[in-house]
Amino acid sequence: MSGLPVALDVSRETLEKLRAYEALVRKWNSKINLVAQGTLDDFSSRHIQDSIAIARATAMHGQWLDLGSGGGLPGIVVAILADPERSVTLIESDGRKAAFLNTVRRELGLDLRVIPDRIEDVDPFAADVVSARALAPLPRLLELCVRHGHPRTRYILPKGRNWRQEVMEAEASWVYDVEIIESPVDPSSVILKITNLDRA
């Protein structure tokens, strides 16, 4: 039985899809390590609430691209929450994880696209929003992100307790505006909302 609480501030239909998604993660996780096994007991607070915060960090419209989606966090949650004006695409180079993402897409009836390729090898996307969770340090992450953005793209990037150091290192190569959004999961973590990204 899913451990997702009813207090996630989402509709009943959305909650059911989140529960179905969690069940699929639990079913597949022992085979392909979608999330750290030790985090499954806290799947809602550790992963779902964090992904909801990422999804809600910017306007819910336009083309959303999630890089290195892995087990679908936050990309699948973004797709579950998406309104009809948002299209969602997930890039995941690991073939087994991409197969899992497509299984979730089919079983939950989600309107999303999965690209099973390396981020660097995908044609530039010009997405309105680019997200990436636990993918790379910020300087490298911005290099991956900027390829798929345009001048008005919003980059939604959750970061852990070393986020200040990463921001300082990124500013040696990049100029941007950043809004710091407090993480609902970990007081030492944040979500970086980056706009006006350009090379220094």
Tokens coding 75 = 């990309």
Tokens coding 190 = 């944040």
Nearest to 180 by CA among 150, 151, 159: 159
Query: Which residues make up each annotated binding site?
Result: 68, 73, 119-120, 133
Q: In angstroms, rounded to a whole number, what is the distance separating the alpha carbons of residues 170 and 155? A: 14
How many Cα atoms within 13 Å fall on the side-chain side of residue 44?
16
Query: Residues 131-153, buried b or exposed e (16+ Cβ, 10 A)?
Result: bbbebbebbebbbbbbbbbeeeb
Is 85 exposed, middle or buried, given 0-12, 13-18 or 19+ CB atoms closer than 10 A?
exposed
Query: Which residues make up each annotated binding site for S-adenosyl-L-methionine?
Result: 68, 73, 119-120, 133
CB within 8 Å of 28: residues ≥ 6 apart: 34, 71, 100, 103
Longest CA–CA span in the chain (Å) reads: 50
The answer to whether residues 187 and 45 touch, using CB atoms and an 8 Å cutoff, is no
